[in-house]
């Protein structure tokens, strides 16, 4: 089974809205934080995701889903857990869970699907050496 990577941080005041809770669009940003942490873990490198970008490879989002279970409030510590759910030649799907880091309560769960794109935005296959490094258990 593929490794799950967790990252924990405090919610920001700027992320709250007039209902007094974290705005629902922020969870997509937190997923991205979880995804970044997963990439950093996998490529054993502080740069992580930036390595692909340096080669002109990016992973554009083609789909996102988010299910909101309970709200987060200013100052709450939240943990984003991220793991790959599916890998294809041209892309992958990551899954996420967001929990209150203090109580463990599930706040949100979701997925994002990505495909590789080059600098011009055209869809490209993910090079084999990246697949081998990112998802060795899948090859």
**Is 68 a binder of its own copies (CB under 8 A)?**
yes
Minimal CA–CA distance to 63: which of 28, 27, 24? 28
Size of the site for its own copies (CB under 8 A): 42
Which of 1, 44, 46, 122 touches its own copies by CB under 8 A? 46
Among 3, 64, 103, 125, binds its own copies (CB under 8 A): 64
Compute CA distances 35 → 13, 59, 97, 120, whole Å: 22, 11, 11, 23
Tell me: does residue 47 bind its own copies (CB under 8 A): yes
Binding site for its own copies (CB under 8 A): 9-10, 12-14, 16-21, 23-26, 28-29, 32-33, 36, 46-50, 53, 58, 60-68, 71, 73-75, 77, 121
């Amino acid at each position: 089974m593929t490794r799950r990577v967790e990252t924990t941080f405090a919610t920001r005041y700027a992320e709250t809205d007039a209902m007094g809770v974290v705005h629902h669009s922020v969870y997509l940003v937190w997923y991205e934080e979880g995804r970044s942490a997963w990439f950093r873990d996998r490529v054993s490198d502080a740069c992580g995701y930036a390595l692909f970008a340096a080669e002109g490879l990016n992973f554009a989002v083609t789909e996102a889903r988010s299910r909101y279970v309970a709200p987060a409030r200013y100052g709450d510590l939240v943990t984003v857990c991220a793991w790959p759910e599916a890998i294809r030649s041209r892309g992958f799907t990551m899954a996420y869970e967001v929990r209150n880091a203090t109580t463990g309560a599930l706040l949100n769960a979701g997925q994002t699907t990505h495909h590789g794109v080059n600098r011009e935005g055209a869809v490209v296959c993910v090079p084999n050496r990246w697949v081998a490094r990112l998802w060795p258990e899948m090859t």
